[in-house]
Amino acid sequence: MSITNGKGEINTMLKKLMEKKKREQARRNRINSAKGLAAGAALGAVAGILFAPKSGKDTREVIVNSAKDLNENVKVKASGAKETVTSKTKEAKSKITDYLNKKKQGTLEIAEENIEEVKEIEEALEENEESIEEINNEEK
């Protein structure tokens, strides 16, 4: 490797490293912008509720009702997620059981075939032994 070639490789590596750092920084900027936007939206909603032209009692009722609705929505979503996980787990167990049963059945079939082949070989050996005995008896 020449010195010139080595410098070129170093420059290429440095450029790639700088590009990677720029992409990471841009990603962090997007994340921070999204966080700021979410925080601003939440503060705006709270401020809107607090400064709405309703009485404090009405505002508190709105907040309580919103919290109850949110709680109910979370329960419904959690229940749905639980049902989905349970269903997918049962489905996966069923598929695994079916797969293992098929493999077991296939193994049993192979074993039965092997037993049959062994029996055929044993019979052939017995016939050969008998033939050998007959030949030996004829020679005597």
Report pTM.
0.39
Rounded CA-CA distance 77/85 in Å is 12
Task: Please report which confidence band the pLDDT of residue 1 belongs to, taking 50, 70 and 90 as the band edges.
Answer: very low
Sequence-ordered list of residues with C-beta below 8 angstroms from that of 54, at least 6 positions apart, any chain: 62
Per-residue pLDDT for 3 more than 70? no
Residue 4 is predicted with a pLDDT of: 53
Q: Which amino acid is at 3?
A: I
Closest CA to 63 of 48, 41, 78: 48
Percentage of the chain modeled with pLDDT above 70: 94
Cβ(49)–Cβ(59) below 8 Å: yes
Residue 106 is predicted with a pLDDT of: 85
Rounded CA-CA distance 61/131 in Å is 104
Cβ(52)–Cβ(60) below 8 Å: no
More confident residue, 42 or 87: 87
Residue 15, both tokens:
């450029």
Per-residue pLDDT for 44 more than 60? yes
Task: Please report which confidence band the pLDDT of residue 101 belongs to, taking 50, 70 and 90 as the band edges.
Answer: confident
Cβ(125)–Cβ(132) below 8 Å: no
Burial per residue of 19-44, b for 16 or more beta-carbon CB atoms within 10 angstroms, e otherwise: eeeeeeeeeeeeeeeeeeeeeeeeee
Residue 6 is predicted with a pLDDT of: 64
* Helix locations, the chain, DSSP H: 3-50, 56-139
Residue 140 is predicted with a pLDDT of: 64
Percentage of the chain modeled with pLDDT above 90: 3
Residue 5 is predicted with a pLDDT of: 58
Please, what is the average pLDDT of the chain?
A: 83
